[in-house]
Amino acid sequence: MHALGRRTADAAGGPIVRSGEMLNNARPPDGGLLCRSPPSRKDSMKRHARRPTQRPTRRSPGAGSANPLADAIRRHRAGDLASAEAAYVARLAVAPDDANALHYLGILRHQQNRTEEAITLVTRALHVAPTYVDAWSNLGNLYKESSKPAEAESAYRRALATDPDHTGSWNNLGVVLRAQGKPAEAVTALRNALERAPTMVDAWFNLGNALRSCGTLHAAITAYRRVLALQPSHGYAQDLLGRVLYVAGEREEAAAIFREWAAREPANPIPAHMLAACSGSDVPARASDAYIRTTFDRFAASFDEVLLQRLDYHAPEALCASLAEVLAQPGRALDILDAGCGTGLCGPLLRPYARSLLGVDLSAGMLARARTRALYDGLIEEELVRFLIDRPGQFDVIASADTLCYFGELLPAMQAARDSLRPEGWLAFTLERADDVDSHRINPHGRYSHAREYVAASLEGAGFSSISIEPQALRLELGKPVAGWVVRARAKRT
């Protein structure tokens, strides 16, 4: 279909982005929005256009027919956005109710990151042509892109009311239903898509995700295997298949999945890291830079939506509430580092205290999202420990939400943080909690969890005092709270 094709992250293992869920940059004509295909996520065009004539009919001839927009559409498809834009604008100057021109210009505006304008244009197209199926579907995609799942659901249902066999709308409806916490309804929608398109890879993948959200792990495994039968190179499905096999108790099979993937793609850091997580062999002291960068770059577009809407994510609020207990009233007097800032979810909470607020992260994609918040005085792409070592005595506060869970050994990071803080400066961070180990362990989702005594010893060894380590549920995973620690400590005077 014509999906905006965002590949959103999966709800079950933290930041693991999967294909086929929907939306991102719109794909131009032949009649739809753009789709980023995993793993390259390059814009590509889908076919099977459904465009209206100027009367509100359900379908019209394709762009190759006698259509004044044909040349503009071809240029749009070829990536020549400037000339396509000029042609659409020129057409609308003489025919302001041309539904095709409104729709395609809306698609193009979305490609230009002007999604609100895109929604307005596609909505105008639908006023002209109320049964324009692809415009309804793409309006749903635009609402999904704008984190408005209820509006997206309504638009997809309008598309399906006009054309019950519109498989792309069934697929995308399944995605937004799952995003709204309705996985059983999502399963039904996705099965409707697959009844009409049995080899639709995205629908099989999304069905696996919805089944996993329902807790029917073996059915999810079957769906992911179907994805791989249809598209053996589907890395997202291979990743999730391995993780779900592990959760279902099939640990040796899970390790075999990651071992085979690592052998096939030796330069890919994800299967290597996940093989260590599932097998317990050759476990690194911390996740590699390449693993972090790859994982979060592909997770960036949907990070906020997934964590806040689906995973009930609390870490930034818990972290900043802990700091508020020991900091003076907000007065923009402190030099603060958001360590592993991601998309900047801590930024609004830290900014009232900050004279200067810097963010550091390994993922360029996450930093690009943080930049849109316009809260930081600087955003730096660098590995955290190296960044800290190069900035002795620079900060009054270092805050780090869900970053050190990618470190097993904590002491090097604690020492670097201590040296980067001014005397009596504060360090605060979150970790995932382990009560059954002496120090730390890697988990099958690829993150580490830590024992309280180990965390305290690492902080004391690095030169911190006034240590507070409080239990806190950080988010949901497979519908269950993830137990964590909210940690705060003060740098000793030397």
* 238-289 pLDDT, tens digit each: 989 998 998 888 988 999 999 999 998 999 999 999 999 988 888 999 999 9
Q: Which of 105, 33, 95 is nearest to 68 (CA)?
A: 95
Please tell me what DSSP assigns to residue 164.
T
What are the structural domain ranges in the chain?
A: 35-229, 301-491
The model's pLDDT over 440-452, given as tens digits with 9 standing for 90+, comes to 999 888 999 999 9
Distance CA 301, CA 76 (A): 23
Q: Which of 487, 270, 292, 486 is nearest to 386 (CA)?
A: 292
Paired sense of beta strands 480-491 and 421-433, if any: antiparallel
Query: Which residues does residue 358 pair with via DSSP β-bridges, in sequence order?
Result: 337, 378
Identify the pLDDT of residue 306: 60
Distance CA 192, CA 101 (A): 31
Please give the CATH superfamily to which domain 301-491 belongs: Vaccinia Virus protein VP39 (3.40.50.150)
Name the residue type at position 243. R
Rounded to two decimals, what is the model's pTM? 0.73
Please tell me what DSSP assigns to residue 188.
H
460 CB neighbour count, 10 Å cutoff:
14
Identify the pLDDT of residue 304: 58
The model's pLDDT over 109-128, given as tens digits with 9 standing for 90+, comes to 999 989 999 999 999 999 99
Please tell me what DSSP assigns to residue 15.
S
CB 341 within 8 A of CB 359: yes
Name the residue type at position 392. P
In CATH terms, the fold of domain 35-229 is 1.25.40
Identify the pLDDT of residue 2: 35
Distance CA 15, CA 12 (A): 9
Q: Specify burial of residue 152 (Cβ count, 10 A radius: 0-12, 13-18, 19+).
A: buried
